[in-house]
A and B are shown apart, each in its own frame.
Chain A
Amino acid sequence: MKSRWTLLAAGAVISLSLAGCGASGDAGSSSEGDGSIEVQTGLAVDSKLLGTLKEVTNSFQQANPNVKINLVPSTTTYEKDMKVRLASGNVPDIWWTHGWSRDRYSKFLLPLQNEAWAANFNPALSDAMKDDAGAFYALPIDTDIAGIIYNKDVLDKAGVNIADIKTWDDFDSAAAAVKAQGITPITVSGKANGPAGNLTDWIAPGAFSKDELAQLKKGTFVGDKYKTVLDLVAKWRDQGYFNPDYASAATTDMDHALAQGQAAFIFSQNNRVNNALQYSPNAHLGYMPIPSLTGGSGYLVGGEMNAYGISKTSAHAEDAKKFLAYLAEPANESKLAQSAGSAPGLTNATPNMGALQASYDQWMTQAKTTLVPYFDRVYLPNGMWNTVVTTTDSVITKQSSVDAALGQVESDFKSLYGQGK
């Protein structure tokens, strides 16, 4: 009994003193039920982008001492956190929309197309972020431009030249050459809810003709073409191109494998490159356009990654808009996009993509490669993303056949299209 009280007293003293220390901390941390603006950043507490965001926020607060900004870091459960917050009505003032500002969050967000900075909205983001009426719901910090990420050191070892990969057949021979070296051609995380879906999202835009894409948008499922996407994935599986630990690999394992030359290709957003470079700063990484299944020219996938929207119900909407406008100032936007390692989301900011600048110059500035939006976001009804992930996953793990997976996609497509649009 006595020991319990000793413990309690000790604990209370320690925690009170610590709480006291914490309260006088940095700008982004302390706020107790005051009128501060809560910004759910979705970023890890030590991430580079959060560091820059803190810096910019501090200078904003010096200019606007009456507005208090509270930057909140997050964990891998971010999407779940946001759903719980939205369901309960306890919505943050500003939050990271991670590619979903229109399809998932638009009914909770203020439209921002009338803001002053909206004139500089990167048109490459229009398909992904604007609705039919031209409204959009978040300030894009960056424009995600992604292709097939490769490790040049591995490809050199296998005698593969990136410039020679124009079709999926070329890709196939490259993968075979890599595999002959005893290295995994394509590494994917099956444990995380997403990377498997990226495979389909990356391949699919090249599997359909313009007319077929229009049909998809109107609610007609073009099954035979969707099947070609899953067939390609199944072929890679049968040829042993995927990492043997696919099912249990986490996204950090993708980063590690890419960094250490244990894999040649990953199909992912470019933030994986920045993570990989943390582990091996000297690795030679880049990205290349995605070949087309129908024989057209290669393309890159572009869309929303780091973007922030303002809650419709925020009590500080005007201040929140002021804050976003400050982030949108060219100097700040450039700095933030640079920390994210991608191209800015506004046209008046300067791109500086670090390690990926060479790839950007090669494919975007010089070759003017077509940029297509995330396939599921534009051509599939809202709510399909999870189906895209789980069906691709079931093909890779052989939990279901291509036909069974296709049937699942089709039935979800039909039922979700009926509910949604």
Chain B
Amino acid sequence: MPFLPAQQLRPRRTDVAETVITKPSPLPATKPPQPAGRRRRRGGLVNLLYVPALLLFAVFTVYPLISGVGLSFTNWDGYSPEKAMVGLANYTRLFSDDTFRMVLINTVVYGLGSTIFQQVFGLGLAMALDRPLRGRGAARAIIYLPVLVSPVIMGTMYYLLFGYNNGAFNDVVTFFGMDRVAWLSNSTASIAIIVAVNTLQFVGISMIIYLAGLQSIPSEYYEASMLDGARGWKQFTNITLPLLQPAFATSIVLNLIGGLKLFDVIKVMTGGGPGYSTNSVSTLIGVVYFDNQSAGYASAMGVVLFLMIVLFTLVLNSLLNRRRLEA
């Protein structure tokens, strides 16, 4: 391929940084109308570029999703040839189902909990690793390491560590002469531990994003503010936080998705128990579909979940847009 000299084309770091400062969010809404109009003149042919992707979505995601909608009006057990239509019974049942309500709350806790902790620790670690310390390359790699491992394996290792009879944490506890602790036997503690494990596994992603964001802030800004007498916390709130805003958006979106979709860690750590009390919506759908043999009901849950995702995406999108407009 006859590449143009890449150096010439690549946006130089400082250019981009300046863009960030002067126009923190180069977004459609804030753009002057003229270039937008010019872009539109290019015609719709360019949209052909996303057609292959949309075709894949249509066949392998949307079609199965829609088939699921049909199942949600039946009492199918999930494997037998026969099934009967039950109308909206699954949906009416859903609205009075305390378990489903509890599990929805759990899902939100997993999503928000992981997101909040990953931002706090991710940013903290990034700021620490942005300092000129010896061995920081190794520290970065080690903190990132769990991201590369399957959540099933990571969850299993923590499950072993939290084990009652043979877990390392209880070995430490008994070493200090205290009684063994059944770590994962009440739902509040289990949810907290699951959030913690998920945070530890994926904090590396937030860390890298923030590290990248921090490195893109030109040191002149800090130097200038030093002349004005700003230090420490003031620099952090006046320069670091506002300039990291785009990094926040990327990191929060990634972590929120991961937290709300949490599945493997829950399965491995508690299996959703005690009772149903630590399930998320995705694990509950699996339990209801296969263990309870209520595939119709599980499909109704899937449909409601999807509608909530759509709603959530719309809200998230408008929130992000509003923030961008304000900025």
Contact = CB atoms under 8 A, between A and B. Distances in A.
Decide if A and B touch, CB cutoff 8 A: yes
A253 B274 contact: no
Given A190-B273, A192-B271, A394-B275, A248 B166 contact: no
B125 to A, nearest CB: 27
Contact of B183 (A243, A248, A250): A248
A262 interface: yes
B180 interface: yes
A349 interface: no
Interface in A357-413: 383, 386, 390, 393-394, 397, 399
Contacts of B295: 87
A386 B183 contact: no
Interface in B156-177: 159, 162-166
Given A83-B79, A83-B290, A386-B291, A244 B274 contact: no
A245 interface: yes
Interface in A237-277: 243-250, 253, 256-257, 260, 262
A278 B293 CA distance: 34
A243 B182 CA distance: 9
Contact of A253 (B164, B190, B275, B286): B164
B189 to A, nearest CB: 10
Given A262-B165, A386-B293, A248 B185 contact: yes
A139 to B, nearest CB: 22
A248 B184 CA distance: 6
Counting chain B residues whose Cβ lies within 8 A of the other chain, the interface size class is 20 to 34
A394 B99 CA distance: 13
Nearest to A83: B79
Given A191-B273, A193-B271, A386-B292, 15 more contacts: A86-B79, A86-B80, A190-B273, A190-B274, A191-B270, A191-B271, A245-B182, A245-B185, A247-B182, A248-B182, A249-B164, A256-B165, A260-B166, A262-B165, A397-B274
B78 A247 contact: no
A87 B190 contact: no
The dominant DSSP class at the A interface is loop
B167 to A, nearest CB: 9
B245 interface: no
A80 interface: yes
Contacts of B163: 245, 253
A55 interface: no
B155 to A, nearest CB: 12
Interface of A: 79-80, 82-84, 86-87, 104, 107, 190-193, 243-250, 253, 256-257, 260, 262, 383, 386, 390, 393-394, 397, 399
Given A245-B164, A260-B165, A397 B273 contact: yes
27 contacts: A80-B286, A82-B79, A84-B79, A192-B271, A193-B271, A244-B164, A245-B163, A245-B164, A245-B183, A245-B184, A245-B185, A246-B182, A246-B274, A248-B159, A248-B162, A248-B182, A248-B184, A248-B269, A253-B163, A253-B165, A256-B165, A260-B166, A383-B293, A386-B291, A390-B275, A397-B274, A399-B277
Interface string B190-227: 10000000000000000000000000000000000000
A98 to B, nearest CB: 14
B292 A87 contact: no
Nearest to B76: A87
Interface in B226-265: none
Contacts of A193: 271, 291
B99 to A, nearest CB: 10
B165 A397 contact: no
Given A107-B80, A191-B273, A394-B275, A248 B190 contact: yes
B79 A246 contact: no
Contact of B77 (A248, A250, A383, A399): A383
A107 B81 CA distance: 9
Nearest to A263: B165
B185 A247 contact: yes
A257 B165 contact: yes
A246 B185 contact: yes
Contacts of A256: 165-166
A397 B269 contact: no
B165 A87 contact: no
Contacts of A107: 80-81
A25 B13 CA distance: 54
Contacts of A397: 273-275
Candidate in B162, B273, B277, B290 with the most chain A CB atoms within 10 angstroms: B273
B276 to A, nearest CB: 8
B197 to A, nearest CB: 13
A87 B164 contact: no
A84 B298 CA distance: 14
B273 A247 contact: yes
Contacts of B286: 80
Which 10 pairs, one residue from A and one from B, show the smallest C-beta to C-beta distance? Answer: A245-B164, A248-B184, A247-B274, A191-B271, A399-B275, A397-B274, A83-B79, A244-B182, A86-B79, A245-B182
